[in-house]
Amino acid sequence: MAEALIGLDLVEMQAAVDGVAGGRVPAYRAKQVYDAVYRQRVTNLSQISTLPKQLRAGLAAGPGLGLPQTVQRFDSADGTRRYLLRLADGRTVETVLMQEADRHTFCISSQVGCPVNCRFCLTALMGLERNLTAGEMVGQVLVVAADNRLPADVGKLNVVMMGQGEPLLNLDNVLKATRLLVDPDGVGLSERRLTLSTSGIIPKIKELGRHSIRPKLAISLNASTEEQRRELMPITRKYHLKDLLDACKAYPLRPWERLTFEYVLLKAVNDTGDDARRVVRLLAHLKCKVNLIALNPGPGIPYETPDAERVASFQAIVRRSIPCFVRKPRGRDIYAACGQLKRMEGSF
């Protein structure tokens, strides 16, 4: 079967349209399809009424649109929605939409499962099933935007690649998805509103920095010493914390950009005043901010959530030197919060 339309760039779209028509089709036709898929966000090819019927039918019978299908939607009391989406091969993946007054944030997955074995993360328990294609990443945004009737010109639309998976282990597809998401003729998001988060795959951080169109970079720090990080994030044995921070120092930030460091607070493990002071020392020379996340608990996770006062005092220490925010837990009641994406079904 030909590749689905979602995920194709304009050149590939032209080839797909030519393929269906059995010969060269004028370029404006491919542009019409591209526009309908990404800008108008059609959910069915029959909605592209500007196309000749035959071509429309050929596209539907051939490559197809390729939107993931919603298996189940979980609505949190705080307005967060978690989607369980089915891909073409029957595998499922999760996407979360967080809504605030004037701001929508899509948390999308980059892989089915994750091969990085962080000890506090539920997704780790799945292992890696496979990488997502660029179309499957863009498709998550399109399907959830359509379900929530978000208009194409909605202003503050953010995408964070912080769902299932380690985006830097699927970099080519992540970059292609990024180009489609920020293309003004495509989905049309602002490049400043796209962020990927990594556990610290150093060579890929360097590679990311060489691309001109790329998401902002967030690093999951999660520890204040080399030893502690090795314990919590075994990938540190391969990519040492010291080298990770060197890569951050050398990272070519755009003028408007700064790094984000995420830090999951685990009760009595990495949440002490000494930890906070060490975090400040580690990051002192970087243009960055810190986001603290109190652990979202889950079955099989051998850690506890620190008390609110501990979180506040950790923040107070870091904030003296570095902008530091506490991330509100969103959608914990429906297993939609950070580190809780493990395809939980049933009702919450």
Q: Which residues bind ligand SAH (CB under 6 A)?
A: 114, 120-121, 162, 166, 197-199, 220, 222, 262, 264, 293, 295-296, 301, 338-339
Residue 197: strand pairing partners: 218
**Nearest to 9, CA basis, from 179, 140, 169:** 179
Please, what is the minimum distance in Å from the beta carbon of residue 339 to ligand SF4?
Answer: 6
- Residue 295 near which of ligand SAH, ligand SF4, none (CB within 5-8 Å, type-dependent): ligand SAH
> Which residue number, 139 or 298, has a Cβ lying nearer to ligand SF4?
298
Of 12, 94, 136, 227, catalytic: 94
H/E stretch holding 294: strand 288-294
Per CB under 6 A, which of residues 144..183 are in contact with ligand SF4? 166
Residue among 33, 37, 85, 118 that touches ligand SF4 (CB under 6 A): 118
Strand stretches in 167-247, DSSP E: 194-198, 216-220
Nearest approach, Cβ of residue 138 and ligand SF4 (Å): 20
Please select the residue that binds ligand SF4; options are 173, 199, 270, 305, rule is CB under 6 A.
199
Nearer to ligand SF4, 34 or 106 (CB): 106
Look-up of token digits 């969103």: 330
* Position 279 contacts ligand SF4 (CB under 6 A): no
Q: Could you confirm whether 338 is annotated as catalytic?
A: yes
Q: How far is CA 107 from CA 133, 164, 197, 262, in A?
A: 16, 9, 11, 15
Segment interacting with ligand SF4 (CB under 6 A) among 55-63, 119-127, 210-218, 254-262: 119-127
Decide if 222 contacts 216 (C-beta within 8 A). Answer: no
- Rounded CA separation 310/286 (Å): 25
Q: Which of 13, 124, 157, 290 binds ligand SF4 (CB under 6 A)?
A: 124
114 is a site residue for ligand SF4 (CB under 6 A): yes
* Annotated active-site residue in 118, 121, 324, 338: 338
Q: Residue 42: what residue type?
A: V
Contact indicator for 164, 94 with CB cutoff of 8 Å: yes
Contacts 24+ apart (CB under 8 A), 51-59: 55/17, 55/20, 55/21, 55/25, 55/29, 58/20, 58/21, 59/5, 59/16, 59/17, 59/20, 59/33
CB of 110 to ligand SAH, least distance (A): 8
Q: Contact residues for ligand SF4 (CB under 6 A)?
A: 114, 116, 118, 121, 123-124, 166, 199, 220, 339
